[in-house]
Chains A and B, each alone.
Chain A
């Protein structure tokens, strides 16, 4: 009697395992068939694509030649011109000179003025007869918003006893 009860309990506990395994197997089969379907669909799409590619190649052939080349040449130059006009860097060379004219003291004479537009760097070399004017000239440059981060270069006296100074600055 006791043995019969135990067997019955054992078989009841096995049933859920069986059902869940069956469900898992069915889901696996379904997934497998979906994958198979997808493979078939990809093959169909590939066929469609190759047909379209052939059609497109035919159409493309009719769209080349001098007429298209001329338009592209026109467009590229126009695009380039637009880009040059929209350049953020100031390339009006006269502006750099006007700026210098505004700031140079009457007691100072500029010897060399170098503007590197690509590096946004300016080097000024000048001559004067007193360090007072060198300092005043430097203050003048510093006060102007056009010039950024001004630093002094060398100071030396030339054969005539004049002070030759240089500044380095950015714009």
Chain B
């Protein structure tokens, strides 16, 4: 008699446990798997158009070789200390300044401005990071010349983060100041981006989402950019390298 009374709550409890413990999680799994299937089907169906998009973007790059050159000068694949030293010296000399000191510190890696795929939605998997190398340069000269120099230095053709700068009256060891000469110290992080191999274009959001290149930043950058000619070595070799 008492067992029969317990049957109803027993089955109700079992049914509820089954729904909460097993049915609901399985339902979520089904929804998730169906979404994945849908996405993968779309990707496979879109593969033809992705290939077409890759060709279109390649022709855009090939038609804008100057922009490509600017971009790869802006963020070269190697740090190129020689280029940094040469640019710094070129700008300083052009502004009648004397380069007093150049220091390179140990570099760090940072994400490229969160490296979005253009629409800000996601990042490229295993995306390379911009390597930053801190650089400190000291120059000596007049106030106006240092001002001209800083104006040009702000707009060099390289990726750079201006960290700090200071101007100080140049002093002799006994404390008396030397005419109008100032010492300018500038601390900059210069960047470079190593090349890397992509496993598949399907993993690259801007190719997958068929986004085109917006080249407007290059135009803006080009307008502000200070032109620094590449140094050309005309003579090399010496009979006595120690003389």
Contact = CB atoms under 8 A, between A and B. Distances in A.
Interface stretch (A53-61, A128-136, A137-145): A53-61
Interface in A19-37: 20-21, 24-25, 27-28, 31-32, 34-35
A63 B15 contact: no
B103 interface: no
Interface stretch (A1-9, A88-96, A146-154): A88-96
Interface of B is mostly: helix
A20 B12 CA distance: 10
B97 interface: no
Given A14-B4, A83-B113, A91-B154, A52 B44 contact: yes
Nearest to B61: A74
- Size class of the contact patch on chain B: 35 or more
Contacts of A81: 71, 74-75, 159, 217-218, 221
A103 interface: no
B113 A115 contact: no
A55 B44 contact: yes
A76 B202 contact: no
A27 B11 CA distance: 8
A64 interface: yes
B222 to A, nearest CB: 10
Interface in B78-135: 112-118, 124, 127-128, 130
A80 to B, nearest CB: 4
Interface string A70-110: 11111111111111110000011110110000000000001
B124 to A, nearest CB: 7
B175 A79 contact: no
A162 to B, nearest CB: 11
B48 to A, nearest CB: 9
Given A56-B44, A76-B127, A81-B74, A21 B193 contact: no
B197 interface: yes
Contact of B7 (A25, A42, A79, A94): A25
Contact of A45 (B37, B168, B204): B37
A67 B58 contact: yes
A46 interface: yes
Contacts of A93: 150-151, 153-154, 162, 165, 186
A117 B33 contact: no
A116 B164 contact: yes
Interface string A38-56: 1101100110110011011
Contacts of A41: 30
A112 interface: yes
Given A24-B11, A49-B33, A116-B164, A79 B116 contact: yes
A159 B30 contact: no
Given A63-B50, A72-B124, A73-B193, A114 B166 contact: yes
Contact of B8 (A24, A64, A83): A24
A80 B113 contact: yes
Contacts of B196: 69, 72
10 contacts: A14-B1, A20-B8, A52-B40, A63-B51, A63-B201, A75-B118, A75-B213, A84-B159, A114-B165, A117-B162
Given A14-B4, A25-B11, A60-B200, 8 more contacts: A28-B14, A63-B202, A64-B200, A74-B71, A76-B124, A83-B113, A113-B166, A118-B164
